[in-house]
């Protein structure tokens, strides 16, 4: 229960004020218990990529398990005033919140699964007030961790099997940003983190070297390396670019040889500045000539997937990548555009709802939706979003929601699986949470099921994902009906 370890206070008010004002409005209008369905999804892949990695579900589970208004929460809400100085909420509503027990059904796509635009990552079905109330916390958890997991997966792909270490805590967006990023980066493919608290909370392997200040604290570079090597005779990686990088490599080698008779094992060197291609090649020559062929060369200088790819194309001899700022902050796209939209409400029978927009991408999908993934022995073939309440045709067709001329017939011999799985039923957890290494392994397996053209960084192909044709036609009819009502 990592959230309870980080935050020893109620997180029920981790939401926007308008969620409470809407909740109050639903209660006031007798709608609080009316059954509704919401979907959480995103509209566009981050980083111009061809896939996204779902993450954050475990923290969603922990949040919902602890969802209960405490006396302190209720006292704060009671203290809020309206514009005329009157209490914002009636005492009867406060009493209603005090009695509220989470009772929704929640279905979600497991962490580490590759996902695509418009696909519900989470589906919430239950009392309208409750389902509305959890919008903001679900978005803040899922959006950020999915973003970072995707960035990490892209970086791990670029590293081509090399070790990747998350080094970004000092540049992360605050305490929670650093912890959530470390967790999500591990899911996406990072092999370790420098963040000790993340290591403790999430059982992620921790790695680190030393800073330039260590070298500066000694009279000479040799003295600094020797002191560090004696302190960590089996785990020393020397940072060699404090003064002159090539000379620093030579001094690191000299110290390693000096300490060898004492059982010293030379882990390698770290480069944190300069021409990484040239310096890594020179360092590799020196290390190999000195008999340290197994010594690693670690690089950590504002790296991301594009720079790693470029360095590899140039023949850089780096085999461990320390990634900081550009991974934990998702530097080139600081937010995932995830949304949470009402799709159905029950008034005797289900009434399907849609949010219209002048932009087709911002028009939501109606229904009680599920995602079906088709695949064969080699790879994933296509994803189809469909309404669980409607019978599927024998030979379904997939329609791209952003290009209605693009359609895909599903191969008759294709296998399939539905991605949304039960997490809560009537507020009770029915899902067994996998451990973090298991989620990470799932991510790797998922990505390998995608065609390489979808995995590339520049101009990736689009994976076929869209609406089942019957759902598409229903949506178009509903749009036309609502447009007609507006006139």
Mean pLDDT calculated for residue range 338-343:
97
Question: Whose CA is closest to 142, among 174, 101, 104, 187?
Answer: 187
* 8 A C-beta contact, residue 236 and residue 264: yes
Mean pLDDT calculated for residue range 205-234:
96
pLDDT of residue 487: 45
Question: What are the beta bridge partners of residue 165?
Answer: 192, 322
* 8 A C-beta contact, residue 342 and residue 350: no
pLDDT tens sequence across 52-66: 999 999 999 999 999
pLDDT of residue 404: 80
Q: Is 11 part of any domain?
A: yes
Q: How many CA atoms lie within 13 A of 161 on its CB side?
A: 0
What's the start-to-end Cα distance of the chain, in Å? 53
pLDDT of residue 472: 94
Number of domains in the chain: 2
219/230 Cα distance (integer angstroms) = 17
Mean pLDDT across the chain? 95
- Return all residues near 335 (Cβ < 8 A) that are at least 6 apart: 143, 147
Question: What are the beta bridge partners of residue 407?
Answer: 399
The CATH number linked to 219 is 3.20.20.70
Alpha carbon dihedral 32, 37, 43, 46, in 10-degree steps, equals: 80
* 8 A C-beta contact, residue 367 and residue 473: no
Residue 213 has pLDDT above 90, yes or no: yes
Question: Whose CA is closest to 49, among 145, 146, 120?
Answer: 146
453/208 Cα distance (integer angstroms) = 35
pLDDT of residue 31: 97
E strand or H helix at 140: helix 135-159
Q: Is 422 part of any domain?
A: no
- pLDDT band of 288, cuts 50, 70, 90: very high
86, 101, 116: which is the final residue of a domain?
101
Residue 95 has pLDDT above 70, yes or no: yes
271/245 Cα distance (integer angstroms) = 8
E strand or H helix at 151: helix 135-159
Residue 295 has pLDDT above 80, yes or no: yes
Question: Whose CA is closest to 211, among 255, 172, 274, 167?
Answer: 167
349/401 Cα distance (integer angstroms) = 27
Q: How many CA atoms lie within 13 A of 10 on its CB side?
A: 13
Q: Is 265 part of any domain?
A: yes
Q: Is 149 part of any domain?
A: no
Residue 486 has pLDDT above 60, yes or no: no
Mean pLDDT calculated for residue range 284-312:
96
Distances (CA, A) of 154 to 52, 335, 444: 10, 16, 11
User: pTM of this prediction?
Assistant: 0.95
pLDDT tens sequence across 368-415: 999 999 999 999 999 999 999 999 998 899 999 888 888 999 888 899
Q: Is 358 part of any domain?
A: no
Distances (CA, A) of 367 to 105, 125, 264, 459, 467: 15, 11, 64, 32, 11
Q: Which domain holds residue 225?
A: 209-315
Question: Whose CA is closest to 204, among 180, 220, 221?
Answer: 180
pLDDT of residue 1: 60
- pLDDT band of 5, cuts 50, 70, 90: low
Residue 485 has pLDDT above 70, yes or no: no
271, 288, 315: which is the final residue of a domain?
315
In 143-235, the DSSP E strands lie at 163-166, 192-193
* 8 A C-beta contact, residue 152 and residue 26: no
Q: Is 327 part of any domain?
A: no
Category of 139 on φ-ψ map: left (φ > 0), alpha (ψ -120 to 50) or beta = alpha
* 8 A C-beta contact, residue 190 and residue 211: no
Q: Is 311 part of any domain?
A: yes
The SS3 of residue 58 is helix
Residue 423 has pLDDT above 90, yes or no: yes
Q: Is 281 part of any domain?
A: yes
Give the gyration radius of the chain's Cα atoms.
26
Mean pLDDT calculated for residue range 116-125:
98
């Amino acid at each position: 229960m990592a959230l309870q370890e980080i935050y020893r206070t109620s997180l029920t008010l981790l939401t926007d004020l308008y969620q409470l004002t809407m909740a109050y409005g639903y209660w006031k209008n007798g709608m609080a218990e009316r059954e509704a369905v919401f979907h959480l999804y995103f509209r566009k892949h981050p980083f111009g990529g061809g896939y996204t990695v779902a993450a954050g579900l475990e923290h969603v589970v922990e949040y919902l398990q602890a969802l209960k208004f405490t006396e302190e929460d209720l006292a704060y809400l009671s203290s809020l005033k309206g514009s005329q100085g009157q209490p914002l909420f009636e005492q009867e509503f406060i009493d209603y919140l005090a009695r509220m027990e989470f009772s929704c059904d929640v279905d979600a796509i497991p962490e580490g699964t590759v996902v695509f635009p418009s696909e519900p990552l989470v589906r919430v079905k239950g009392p309208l007030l409750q389902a509305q109330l959890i919008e903001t916390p679900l978005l803040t958890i899922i959006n950020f961790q999915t973003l970072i997991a995707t960035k990490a997966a892209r970086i791990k792909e670029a590293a081509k099997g090399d070790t990747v270490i998350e080094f970004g805590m000092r540049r992360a967006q605050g305490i929670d940003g650093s912890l959530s990023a470390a967790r999500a980066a591990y899911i996406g493919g990072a092999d370790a983190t420098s963040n000790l608290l993340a290591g403790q909370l999430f059982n992620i392997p921790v790695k680190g070297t030393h800073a330039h200040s260590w070298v500066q604290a000694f009279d000479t570079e040799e003295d600094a390396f020797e002191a560090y090597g004696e302190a960590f005779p089996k785990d020393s990686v020397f940072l060699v670019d404090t003064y002159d990088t090539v000379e620093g490599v030579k001094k690191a080698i000299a110290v390693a040889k000096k300490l060898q008779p004492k059982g010293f094992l030379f882990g390698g060197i770290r480069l944190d500045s300069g021409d990484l291609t040239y310096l890594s090649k020179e360092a590799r020559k020196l290390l190999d000539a000195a008999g340290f062929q197994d010594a690693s060369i670690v690089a950590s200088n504002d790296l991301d997937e594009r720079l790693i790819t470029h360095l590899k194309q140039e023949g850089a001899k780096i085999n461990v990548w320390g990634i900081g700022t550009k991974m934990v902050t998702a530097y080139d796209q600081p937010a995932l555009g995830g949304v949470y939209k009402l799709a159905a409400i029950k008034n005797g029978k289900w009434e399907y709802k849609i949010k219209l927009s002048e932009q087709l991408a911002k028009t939501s999908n109606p229904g009680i939706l599920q995602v079906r993934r088709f695949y064969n022995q080699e790879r994933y073939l296509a994803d189809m979003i469909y309404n669980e309440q409607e019978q599927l045709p024998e030979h379904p067709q997939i329609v791209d929601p952003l290009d209605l001329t693009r359609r895909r017939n599903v191969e008759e011999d294709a296998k399939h699986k539905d991605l949304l799985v039960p997490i809560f039923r009537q507020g009770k957890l029915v899902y067994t949470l996998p451990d973090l290494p298991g989620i990470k392994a799932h991510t790797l397996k998922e990505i390998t099921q995608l065609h390489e053209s979808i995995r590339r960084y520049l101009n990736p192909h689009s994976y076929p994902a869209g609406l089942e044709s019957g759902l598409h036609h229903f949506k178009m009819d509903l749009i036309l009906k609502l447009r007609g009502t507006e006139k």
